[in-house]
Amino acid sequence: MDTDQRSDLLRDLGQPKGVTYIELFFDLVFVFTLFRLSQTLIDSLDWVGAFQTLILLMAVWWVWSYTNLLTDTLDSRLIRLQFLITATMFGVLVSSTAVPEAFEQRGLLFAIAYVAINLGRSSILAFALRHHHLGRRPLRGAVWFAASAVPWFAGAMVEDSGRLALWSLALAIDYAAALAGWPVPGLGRTNSAEWNLADEHMAERYRLFVIIALGETVAITGRTFHDSDFSLHRGTAFTLSFCITVSLYWIYFHRTREKLGPAFPGANEPADPNEPRPRSKEAALAHLIMVMGVVGITVADELVIMHPTGSAPASWVAAILGGPALFLAGHALLGRQVFTRAATPRLVGLVVLVVAAPAMVGLAPLASTGLAAAVLAVVVGFEIRLNGPLPGAHSLPPRG
């Protein structure tokens, strides 16, 4: 393979690194996707349903993450790349329509969409970059996506626990291959020399996804309150749900550029070519955990607004308190090497939510929601105390 030619598809790291409009357009489909995931979980709110939703969420997150790597490495202003991103967007929309019945009659549609997105995109990029050394990366990815396609399609052909097991195996292959650098005999594995990443661009992509996830929560909260019969209890649940979402926004975005910038890929990472950007993996994991939390919070908002009183079963308490707990855990992981003192209140809040959960079972859902809102408010209060009341860098960077 000729590696001396520079492809015009590559992002020029000397140019502005702002997020492009096609990337924002691509993110819109995930508003619908997260809605479908939350509805899937609320319709089967038990351990099996939670695990099924987790599998689907991890598949959706992987599609978004890999597309994010594409737009971070390549110049998404080019028409050819925009066509590819749009095609990926269509595939995500198709898979989203299959999400509620993915473990029932629409499993094959979900598998076809997922495999077509990942295998098709990697194959196209491997061909387009065949004269550049970066072309090895999507080529390795195509090999591994072809391998994971076997359990994806096999899982679609069986039902219940068989599908769950096979799709878990398929996701394990996809994630493990990426963590290992997609090793392929004769091609080696991806190393630091095969990345062309604009670190601030990647950081901004993560931030925008969090905004989208929180926006979906606001939309569900407003819609549920509108569809319910108005009462004092439901009004209180609506208010607390909104306060929880605002607290999550504050926790993540307050002075985000000063504190979180170094936590994103590229900051102080070793130059060892055999360790391809380890902190980028940590950032991706942290955001996946936070998005899991947001999905749980979305489910909790709908439950508590529709049923604010009565006796909350354990599954409801798990959603109401587990969502904020996951968000705090993910955010603490994201910044653990950057702002240790600021991470401490998040960990304390996480412990309080977990320890208090058993006592909330059987109480009114409003009680658990009030506890979650109070814990998050205290975390925000420590945020202000530790970093001062002045706003941080809340504006978007200039778009190139």
Longest dimension (CA), the chain: 70
Q: Are 145 and 118 in contact (CB under 8 A)?
A: yes
> What's residue 240's pLDDT?
95
Q: Do 203 and 190 fall into the same domain?
A: no
Global model pTM greater than 0.75 = yes
Q: Are 304 and 370 in contact (CB under 8 A)?
A: no
Q: Are 212 and 30 in contact (CB under 8 A)?
A: yes
- CA count, 13 A, side-chain hemisphere, 15: 14
Q: Do 255 and 353 fall into the same domain?
A: yes
CA dist., res. 255 & res. 383, Å (int): 10
Whether 268 maps to a domain, the answer reads yes
Whether 16 maps to a domain, the answer reads no
Residues 6 or more apart in contact with residue 395 via CB below 8 angstroms: none
Q: How many residues does the chain have?
A: 400
* Closest-CA residue to 359 (of 295, 314, 324, 298): 314
Low-confidence ranges of the chain (pLDDT < 50): 1-6, 265-278, 340, 400
**Domain boundary residue, one of 194, 224, 246:** 194
Q: Measure Cα distances from 248 to 42, 245, 290, 376 in Å.
A: 21, 5, 10, 8
Domain limits for position 363: 199-387
* Closest-CA residue to 60 (of 295, 333, 321): 295
Residues 6 or more apart in contact with residue 77 via CB below 8 angstroms: 20, 22
> What's residue 394's pLDDT?
52
Q: Do 44 and 182 fall into the same domain?
A: yes
> What's residue 194's pLDDT?
61
Q: Do 126 and 184 fall into the same domain?
A: yes
Whether 11 maps to a domain, the answer reads no
Overall number of domains in the chain:
2
Whether 250 maps to a domain, the answer reads yes
> What's residue 4's pLDDT?
43
Whether 324 maps to a domain, the answer reads yes
Q: Do 241 and 174 fall into the same domain?
A: no
> What's residue 289's pLDDT?
92
CA dist., res. 343 & res. 61, Å (int): 25
**Domain boundary residue, one of 146, 167, 194:** 194
Q: Do 87 and 105 fall into the same domain?
A: yes
Q: Do 186 and 84 fall into the same domain?
A: yes
Q: Do 170 and 215 fall into the same domain?
A: no
**Domain boundary residue, one of 194, 218, 252:** 194
φ, ψ at 184 (rounded to 5°): -135, 130
> What's residue 1's pLDDT?
45
- Which amino acid, residue 346? R
Rg from Cα positions in the chain: 21
Whether 127 maps to a domain, the answer reads yes
> What's residue 282's pLDDT?
77
| 10: helix, strand or coil | strand
Q: Do 148 and 212 fall into the same domain?
A: no
Whether 68 maps to a domain, the answer reads yes
Q: Do 333 and 208 fall into the same domain?
A: yes
CA dist., res. 293 & res. 214, Å (int): 10
Query: In this predicted model, what pLDDT tens digit does every residue of 208-259 receive, in sequence order?
Result: 888 888 988 998 999 999 988 888 999 999 999 999 999 999 888 875 555 5
CA dist., res. 164 & res. 25, Å (int): 32
Residue with tokens 């290992």: 180
> 385: which 2 tokens?
């105390």
Residues 6 or more apart in contact with residue 14 via CB below 8 angstroms: none
> What's residue 228's pLDDT?
84
Q: Do 240 and 207 fall into the same domain?
A: yes
SS (H, E, C) 265-332: CCCCCCCCCCCCCHHHHHHHHHHHHHHHHHHHHHHHHHHHHHCCCCCCCHHHHHHHHHHHHHHHHHHH
Q: Do 215 and 144 fall into the same domain?
A: no
